[in-house]
Structure 1
Amino acid sequence: MKRLLAVILLAGCTAPLDPVAPIAFRNPTAQVASQADVTLERLAGEWRIVSIFDDAQFGAVRQVRFDGPNMALNQQLLPVTRNAQGRLTAGGQQFWVHWLDINNRTAVIGSPDGRFGWIMDRNGTPSPDRLKAAREILEWYGYDLSRMKDV
């Protein structure tokens, strides 16, 4: 009887699951990193989202612009703070540049918690090899590519 009572009491101590908590797009046990040589200068200019993890926060983003100390998502201007190499904060959200090709044409942006991520390109049509590389980076960092949508 005491054992049954202890089990019932312990069961009552667990927190209920939050039904509205977002499900991450990446495995939280997978390694994750940002690219060390990324600067705001390399990101400067217009970008188009070509693939995105469909989430409520950033699912409608189609254009990104880096302009000096600011980042614009669909024309919404957010001040950017560079926290570390390849790691930015804008609008209270962390943006990690997981990969940027050597000629600054295609990039992979995500969050370390895996709540969002996207592939962006300067002209909206990355070469097949750059798109493949971007997807491989996401997969390496534990993102579930089956949940990514091309736009």
Structure 2
Amino acid sequence: MRRLLLALALLAGCGAKGPAPYGAIPLRNPTAPVASQANVAQAQLTGNWTVAQGAGITPGALVRISAQAIEIEGAEPVSYHYDPAGRLITPGAPLWVYWLDTSGRTAVLGDPGGTRVWIMDRGQIGADRLAAAHEILRWYGYDLSRLRPAAT
């Protein structure tokens, strides 16, 4: 009987652990496909944008993209080299252009490693473009529940 109780106690200790802490769960599923939009010219990205929704970035932040640097409100400008495959190669993690709508008003940028992603717009984002951006991010394995909207 004693052996049985000892065996049960040992088995109880081998039970499944609880869910991983929230911070340990990646923003993007690393097994999902991911790609950048190769037909986006650097000039299409230059100018001022506002973060409509994001994770790993402040929603509502102003983003300024020039030919040499990207500046996110509240941070120092970061230089980059534009890769014609739709990628901004920075000294840190690269930023990929996941999607730019045909009118050039809404864009989705992110780090394929999954540390940050955002949907940005040149004005007020339309519901149709926001839905399209969400669909792209869902396809690329992002956890949309982690996106935070800009204050309205």
Matches for 1:45-84 after TM superposition, within 5 Å: 45-53=47-55, 55=56, 58-59=57-58, 62-74=61-73, 76-84=76-84
| Counterpart-to-counterpart distance in 2, 1:98 and 1:114 | 13
Aligned length: 128
Amino acid at match of 2:28: R
Is 2:144 the counterpart of 1:137? no
Larger Rg belongs to? 2
Aligned to 1:121: 121
In 2: Cα distance, 1:45 partner to 1:59 partner: 18
Task: Answer whether contact 2:109 2:118 (CA < 8 A) is retained.
Answer: yes
Q: Are the aligned partners of 1:87 and 1:94 in contact in 2 as well (CA < 8 Å)?
A: yes
Please, which runs of 5 or more residues in structure 2 have no aligned partner? 1-20
Under a length normalisation based on structure 2, what TM-score does the superposition of the two structures give? 0.77
- 1:84-125 C-alpha deviation (Å, 9 max, x unpaired): 4111122422100000001110001111111110000001x2
Contact between 1:52 and 1:150, CA under 8 Å: does it hold in 2?
yes
Q: CA RMSD in A?
A: 1.9
CA contact (8 A) 1:70 1:78 kept: yes
What 5-or-longer segments of structure 1 have no aligned partner? 1-18
| Secondary structure of 1:93 counterpart | coil
* 3-state SS of paired residue (1:28): coil
- The one-letter code matched in structure 2 to 1:101 is D
How big is the shift at 1:24? Answer: 2.2
Q: State the identity as a percent.
A: 43
Aligned to 1:36: 38
Letter in 2 for 1:63: L
Q: Secondary structure at the match of 2:107?
A: strand
Going from structure 1 to structure 2, the CA distance change for 1:61 and 1:94 (only over 3 Å counts) comes to: farther
Aligned letter for 1:116? Answer: R
Match of 1:89 in 2: 89
Q: Which residue, out of 25, 28, 41, partners 2:27?
A: 25
